[in-house]
Amino acid sequence: MRLFAAAREAAGTGSDDFAVDDGATVADVLAAAEARYGAAFTAVLPTCRIWVNGDAAPVDAPVGAGDEVAVLPPVSGGAA
């Protein structure tokens, strides 16, 4: 799992490894992350986009042991 911006800050890390069982989904990985990182991460998650191996993915998308799940919060900023 890769975590960016506010998700990284809430989790206290930019990456982590989660063991996944056969038939696991993005939702399973996110539930494990919420259990590991707590309320601050859970609060950020609804605003995030989730990608698997570089492609946007729904929460029911299957995830295997070699897949990378990325959690991308909205980004603000730019030139004024």
Kindly list the structural domains of the chain, giving each domain's residue range(s) and its CATH number in brackets, ordered by start: 2-60+67-72 (3.10.20.30)
The confidence score (pLDDT) of residue 39 equals 97
The confidence score (pLDDT) of residue 16 equals 94
How far is it, in rounded angstroms, from Cα 79 to Cα 33?
34
- The model's pTM is 0.89
Among 46, 42, 40, 50, residue whose Cα is nearest residue 72? 50
Mean pLDDT by 10 residues, the chain (80 residues): 96 93 94 96 96 97 95 72
The confidence score (pLDDT) of residue 77 equals 54
b vs e for 23-40, b when ≥16 Cβ sit within 10 Å of the residue's Cβ?
ebbbebbbebbeeebeee
The confidence score (pLDDT) of residue 75 equals 74
**Cβ–Cβ under 8 Å, residues 10 and 44:** yes
